[in-house]
Structure 1
Amino acid sequence: MRRLFVTGAHTDVGKTYVACAMLRAARAKGLSADALKPVVSGIDLADWAGSDPGLLLEALGRPLDLEALDRIAPLRFAAPLSPPMAARLEGVDLRLAQLTRFCQAGLAASAADLTLVEGAGGVMSPMAEDGTGLDLMLALGLPGVLVGGSYLGAISHTLTAVETLRARGLAIEAVVVSQSADPQAPDFAQTVESVAAFAGGVKVIAAARGEQAWASELV
């Protein structure tokens, strides 16, 4: 059984896109799959099919109902802010131990061949009042799949995240460079090459827009 933590070098770089592609690739290979999104902000419970947990459930082939949603994403907040800021607006004191307990219980209960835990925002984005995404990764001790972008500045963001994870002793399964939708973004192939040149031997995978065959390399 493989357990991986999907994290980002920045916000909105495609963590959920990568996680969903991995789940679909696993199922296409005949493997069982599961996912956890311990906390999500910016979600509208009147229309959540396109939210991160909604997309994860779709990739898992599960019904989009509240029972399934509660199982993979129990902590949900409306404001499109960092989880602790969004929680604060709803009078909730969000703590790292709460997220850790949920993930540990979910991982222990899952018999899937592949289980993904998806963070929120970037590696150092606050996940709770007393912890960042990095702190949750350390608490769980899972290898990471780091998702970076291809926008101007993304190379530095991605390599900084790589060094941050290494400095704390966390294993990096792979770096996935997700192609930006901005037509003015730097050349995608050269961006991937630059990340690979400085990533110190970590596997770097190019996730071009409209393609998902690359995901089979990760499952």
Structure 2
Amino acid sequence: MTIGYFLTGTDTGVGKTRVGTAIARGLAARGLDVRVRKPVESGCPDIDGMPVPQDAEALRLAAGAREPLERVCRFRLRTPVSPERAAALEGLRFDAEALRDACMADAGGDVLLVEGAGGFCSPVAPGALNADLAAALGLPVVLVVADRLGAINHALLTLEAIARRGLHVAALVLSRHGDAGDAGMDNAADLARWSGRAVDVLPPGAAAGPSAWAEDAARLATLVERLAPRA
């Protein structure tokens, strides 16, 4: 039986894909069949005249490249804005149901990992937020929070939004990027205290690539163990 998770963030650029590649690589290294989906991606660079989704490709490779990129990411947009806005600008039509269908198509294997686009309440399709896609899928949520000033506010607001949609939070990950910021700040401890949840911390790491994915998987080994299906 396949288990699944919806990977989202408190904002765009918080490190969702880095966390996703770490989880995918960690689960795949255990011999699990990991299926990844990023049903829509905007800001795709043109390669040979075609928009190529960089985040989706990283997830695909980290999971073991079992599936074609077309299945991992069905809708690709060039404009670096929300998918809803990019679709309107580029004349591409899809809705939340189409995104859900793209996530579930051929989604066998042991684990399904779906990454949203932007933050939990970012527009992902005409009339729909990532939150609506998450609710339609009904998967437990892995929430990624950037370790910076304001993290507690962003995390608690997002946790409330997740709870309002009746979704379970599988993990809360604090993602660190370079300088930790204010020396007096301890978002990991404060977030655990205010949320009442365990907080996994991903420290700054190297650029993306197979070795970086493996290193990050090792850093999040406890999280990967919790997310792995039980025999």
Q: TM-score, normalised by structure 2?
A: 0.84
Q: How does 1:16-95 map to 2 (within 5 A)?
A: 16-46=17-47, 51-62=54-65, 68-95=68-95
Q: Give the counterpart of 2:201 among 194, 200, 206.
A: 206
8 Å CA contact 1:205, 1:214 repeated in 2: no
What is the match of residue 102 of structure 1? Answer: 102
Q: Deviation of residue 68 (structure 1)?
A: 1.6
8 Å CA contact 2:71, 2:102 repeated in 1: no
Q: CA RMSD in A?
A: 2.1
Q: Give the counterpart of 1:172 among 140, 163, 169.
A: 169
Alpha carbons of structure 1 residues 26 and 184: separation in structure 2 relative to 1, 3 Å: closer
Q: Give the counterpart of 2:190 among 190, 194, 203.
A: 194
8 Å CA contact 1:49, 1:55 repeated in 2: no
Q: TM-score, normalised by structure 1?
A: 0.89
The CA deviation string for residues 67-86 of structure 1, in whole angstroms up to 9 with x for no partner, is 82211001000000000111
What is the match of residue 208 of structure 2? Answer: none
Query: Secondary structure at the residue paired with 2:170?
Result: strand
The CA deviation string for residues 35-83 of structure 1, in whole angstroms up to 9 with x for no partner, is 00100000013087781012112202328xxx82211001000000000
Query: Secondary structure at the residue paired with 1:5?
Result: strand
State the alpha-carbon separation in 2 of the partners of residues 50 and 101 from structure 1. 19
Query: Secondary structure at the residue paired with 1:97?
Result: helix
1:159 aligns with 2:156: yes
Which letter maps to 2:190?
S
- Identity score, percent: 37
The CA deviation string for residues 150-203 of structure 1, in whole angstroms up to 9 with x for no partner, is 11112211121111111221100010000022x262359811111111112x33
Which letter maps to 1:155?
I
The CA deviation string for residues 123-173 of structure 1, in whole angstroms up to 9 with x for no partner, is 000001110000001111000000001111122111211111112211000
Which letter maps to 1:93?
R
Structure 1 unpaired stretches of 5+: none
Which letter maps to 2:199?
V
The CA deviation string for residues 73-112 of structure 1, in whole angstroms up to 9 with x for no partner, is 01000000000111111112331121122223x2xx2332
State the alpha-carbon separation in 1 of the partners of residues 184 and 132 from structure 2. 31
State the alpha-carbon separation in 1 of the partners of residues 190 and 155 from structure 2. 11
8 Å CA contact 1:14, 1:147 repeated in 2: yes
Which letter maps to 2:200?
I
8 Å CA contact 1:2, 1:114 repeated in 2: yes
